Homo-oligomer: A and B are copies of this chain.
Amino acid sequence: MSKKAVVLLSGGLDSATTLVLAQSEGYSCYALSFDYGQRNRTELQAAENIAKRYQVEHKVLRIDLDGIGGSALTDDSIDVPQQLEEGIPVTYVPARNTVFLSLALGWAEVLEADDIFIGVNAVDYSGYPDCRPAFIEAFEQMANLATKAASEGRTIHIRTPLINLSKGQIIEQGMVHRLDYGMTVSCYAADANGAACGTCDSCRLRSKGFVDAGFDDPTRYQQT
**Closest Cβ neighbor of A93 among chain B residues:** B106
Any B CB within 8 A of the CB of A64: yes
Any B CB within 8 A of the CB of A84: no
Range, interface on chain A: 35 or more
B138 touches A145 (CB 8 A): yes
Any B CB within 8 A of the CB of A95: yes
- Of the listed stretches A13-21, A40-48, A127-135, A197-205, chain B binds A127-135
- Of the listed stretches A97-105, A163-171, A211-219, chain B binds A97-105
Any B CB within 8 A of the CB of A151: yes
CB within 8 Å of B: which A155-173 residues: none
Bound complex: CA A61 to CA B36 (Å): 11
Bound complex: CA A146 to CA B68 (Å): 16
Question: Which residues does chain B contribute within 8 Å of A123, judged by CB atoms?
Answer: none
CB within 8 Å of B: which A48-103 residues: 59, 61-65, 67-70, 88, 92-99, 101-103
A151 touches B139 (CB 8 A): no
Any B CB within 8 A of the CB of A114: no
Any B CB within 8 A of the CB of A143: yes
A103 touches B109 (CB 8 A): no
Instruction: Write the nearest CB–CB distance from A10 to chain B, whole angstroms.
Output: 17
B102 touches A98 (CB 8 A): yes
Question: Which residues does chain B contribute within 8 Å of A103, judged by CB atoms?
Answer: 63, 68, 95, 99
A129 touches B146 (CB 8 A): yes
Bound complex: CA A105 to CA B142 (Å): 15
B129 touches A88 (CB 8 A): no
Bound complex: CA A109 to CA B70 (Å): 9
Residues of A within 8 A of B (CB): 59, 61-65, 67-70, 88, 92-99, 101-103, 105-107, 109-110, 129-130, 132, 134-135, 138-139, 141-143, 145-148, 150-151
Which 3 A-B pairs give the minimum distances between C-beta atoms? Answer: A95-B106, A70-B110, A94-B106
